[in-house]
Structure 1
Amino acid sequence: MQELIPSRVEYASEPSRSKGRFFTEPPSKTRTAFQRDRDRIIHASAFRRLKMKTQVFVAHEGDHFRTRLTHSLEVAQIARSVARTLGLDEDLSEALALAHDLGHPPFGHAGEDELDECMQDFEGFDHNAQTLRVVTMLEQRYPTFDGLNLCFETLEGLVKHNGPLLKNGKTYEDLAPGFRDFPYLQELQLDKFAGPEAQVAALADDIAYNNHDIDDGLSARLFTIDEICDVPMVGRVFRQVQKDYPLLDEDRVIAEAIRRLIGIWIEDLTKETSKRAKDLRPRSVEEVRDLKLPLVAFSDALEKEQKELRIFLMERMYRHYKVNRKRSQAKRILKDLFHLFLDEPDTLPPPWNGKAMQVTRDERARVVCDYVAGMTDNFAIEEHRRLFNLDAMM
């Protein structure tokens, strides 16, 4: 049976009409602009390092828990499926899904919180701004430019991951330095929404982490199936799976419930987005950017149930004492490393030591932040051991 693929909608992003790259390059003979961006992201060293960066659990705690890399792959799969169903460009949604976490430091949100605290006197740390630094500056693979030279549509999607940057009275000067340091930032139309493929990737992120956090939390025994059944939508699905398969072992019950839950989220997203498209009638990607609200969205009913799930996960997983202990360890490691490198830049390895020793203290802090943010969990742990454990010097 031949699979039916929806026709492309008129407001989809078209690679042939891309606004292009900020450094001129000849087009690829075999790939669209968006496919080329996806491939550059996959081959980036920052992407490879995601395999050993925390999602919720520190990367070395178990092979079955998600890391930033496996999370990004799950987001990409969901984003592609949704984009295909809606008639959007799959490759652009996939590229954005794969790149959306490149700026995350080691140890997940605990690492981000600690780096932001360390950088309070130096304009702070923001992982979305750091993603932009990674793809426009820190990746150094090409002979004539720094970064990956991604096209406009990919960069705007990364920058506007959470919607327009300039809203609610916010100005360009209010933005994190990681944004402001990009010389072409204002050309990314910061007061508008991103294109529909970027909006799909952002909500695919929500679908992926909501569901795999349920999976990982159950696997880690932070809560039980009976306990999460108190969450309305999740409970309905788990109880239905148990009713359909009364003799099924727990692992398969969890897998089947997660599969069904992801399907519910995707169906709701495509249904609500199609409804909005019918009501708002955008005729081009530019009209999508100009709308006063996102085109891609969940229904109000699902948003309400999603909020209840997040409250449960916050109480029973993200703030579980076992997770808190790892958060505490992680924050101490990053704090120690940051302040040592800031005070003693000659302890940095090359070429970072050269960069840090030739600039002011304020500029050095950003160099140190870039170095620490790029670490994997394991490298940060080992670097801390080498620098603060005298036995490791022997």
Structure 2
Amino acid sequence: MAVAGGRPRVPWASDPFKTRGRKFPEPDDSRNPFRRDCDRIIHSTAFRRLKYKTQVFVFHEGDHFRTRLSHTLEVAQVARSVARALGLDEDLAEALALAHDLGHPPFAHAGERALDACLAAHGGFDHNAQSLRVVTRLERRYAAFDGLNLTWETLEGIAKHNGPLTDAAGRGIGRYAGGLPHAVVVHSAAQDLELSRFAGPEAQVAAVSDDVAYDVHDLDDGLRAGFFALEDIAGLPLVGEALVEVEARYPGLERARVATEVMRRVITRLIEDVVRETDRQAQAAGVGSADAVRCLGRPVVGFSPEMQRAEAQIKAFLFARMYRHARVQRVMDEAQSVVRDLFGHFLAQPDDMPEGWRMGLDASDRTQRARRVADYIAGMTDRYALDQHARFFDTTPDLR
């Protein structure tokens, strides 16, 4: 099935005109509610800061490596393509893709690990939950409310695009078996996001689009960084087939263009597999509404079993040859020390934070202070974190 053509809206797509609404009611304007969510996310401060947050390489290591912002835009492009091909709501899929990494701290998962350790006694830190916190509390742009006042469907998708967070009794499951993230607990007290059910179809599209985008583009960045060559990835499923095709059709083509052509073919095959498999799953389940998708008890959007195995091999290769590369590990270890140092400093000296972050702090409430410090640090870009570290410490690493 061709992805580009799209199809009419399917019955199990989310309907923007039947949204469960916003926490704070607002009058309608010329946009549909999901398009309005997209626009609010794009105009948010947190979205702009993604430009200087690490994907794999710290922002100053090269102008052509992905940042958290360029990764987010690539996820949004894939999500729109998949949603269009399936007849789902493109605006909601795009909104969820745009918002999915808003809670990432500086220095990617290294920063997240550091903050999680710093907050071990205060509920830990989780970037997905922090994305929810950003759009419901930390963005302060509007006169009538904190956050962006997004629709229920967008908030639900941000919170659980990777699957349910609890069982039917409200106990955390999977990675949250030890307890739900603080931000989720706080928001759930005010608004029920039905944490024991799967998210709607567009949220599932955003989740698989994240996998598609970072699998392919991390391969591309790894090639650019010289961590491996095309010959090293020729044995990977999808990649090897695409390489044979490109070299047969374009003999003598310069290697940089060969790599680009290979990645184009790989990403297309991943997307087409998702569309075919999702069609098959939806038809087999007989889902007739977005709520039916939520109640199904399993994802309806995803890769075929064969593609799951192929995609897992790509991830395993990247883990061994890129994410655990000595250079990346050294930089990320140093980055974690930057985050730990900043957390310890601001926890002991909260007056060194900007005035807006100090206001309302209870000197006797260590958990409140720790969470406020974590919110402040999580919002930092890589370069701002390094600048702040240099203000208070004499040993700021170069991170190269």
TM-score bucket (shorter structure): over 0.9
Alignment match of 2:232 (pick from 220, 227, 230):
227
Residue in 2 aligned with 1:208? 213
Deviations 1:61-83 (A, max 9, x none): 11100011000100001100110
Kept in 2, the 8 Å contact 1:79–1:200? The answer is yes
Q: 1:299 to 1:340 in 2, by over 3 A?
A: same
Residue in 1 aligned with 2:14? 13
Deviations 1:84-136 (A, max 9, x none): 01000000000000000000000001111111111111111000110011000
Quick one: which amino acid aligns to residue 33 of structure 1? P
Mapped pair 1:24 → 2:29: no
Quick one: which amino acid aligns to residue 350 of structure 1? E
Bigger shift: residues 242-251 or 129-138: 242-251
Normalised to the residue count of structure 1, the TM-score between the two structures is 0.95
Bigger shift: residues 223-232 or 65-74: 223-232
**Equivalences for 1:63-142 in 2 at 5 Å?**
63-142=63-142
Residue in 1 aligned with 2:171? 171
- Shift of the alpha carbon at 1:240? 2.2
List structure 1 runs of 4+ shifted beyond 3 angstroms.
167-170, 183-186, 355-359
- Shift of the alpha carbon at 1:243? 2.2
Deviations 1:126-162 (A, max 9, x none): 0011001100000001111100000000000001121
Residue in 1 aligned with 2:271? 266
Kept in 1, the 8 Å contact 2:12–2:289? The answer is yes
Instruction: Report the Cα distance in structure 1 between the residues aligned to 2:217 and 2:188, rounded to whole angstroms.
Output: 37
- Shift of the alpha carbon at 1:168? 8.9
Kept in 2, the 8 Å contact 1:342–1:365? The answer is yes
Could you say what secondary structure the match of 2:187 adopts?
coil
Instruction: Report the Cα distance in structure 2 between the residues aligned to 1:359 and 1:131, rounded to whole angstroms.
Output: 28
Could you say what secondary structure the match of 1:171 adopts?
coil
Quick one: which amino acid aligns to residue 112 of structure 1? E
Could you say what secondary structure the match of 2:359 adopts?
helix
Kept in 2, the 8 Å contact 1:102–1:131? The answer is yes
Quick one: which amino acid aligns to residue 147 of structure 2? G
Mapped pair 1:251 → 2:252: no
**Equivalences for 1:1-394 in 2 at 5 Å?**
4-28=5-29, 30-167=30-167, 171=171, 174-184=179-189, 187-356=192-361, 358=363, 360-389=365-394
Instruction: Report the Cα distance in structure 1 between the residues aligned to 2:155 and 2:179, rounded to whole angstroms.
Output: 19
- Shift of the alpha carbon at 1:225? 0.8
Instruction: Report the Cα distance in structure 2 between the residues aligned to 1:340 and 1:255, rounded to whole angstroms.
Output: 45
Quick one: which amino acid aligns to residue 65 of structure 2? F
Instruction: Report the Cα distance in structure 1 between the residues aligned to 2:121 and 2:229, rounded to whole angstroms.
Output: 43
Q: 1:11 to 1:75 in 2, by over 3 A?
A: same
RMSD: 1.7
- Shift of the alpha carbon at 1:230? 2.3
- Shift of the alpha carbon at 1:242? 1.8
- Shift of the alpha carbon at 1:328? 1.2
Bigger shift: residues 177-186 or 71-80: 177-186
Quick one: which amino acid aligns to residue 375 of structure 2? D
Deviations 1:4-31 (A, max 9, x none): 4411101110111001001011111x10
Quick one: which amino acid aligns to residue 240 of structure 1? E
Normalised to the residue count of structure 2, the TM-score between the two structures is 0.94
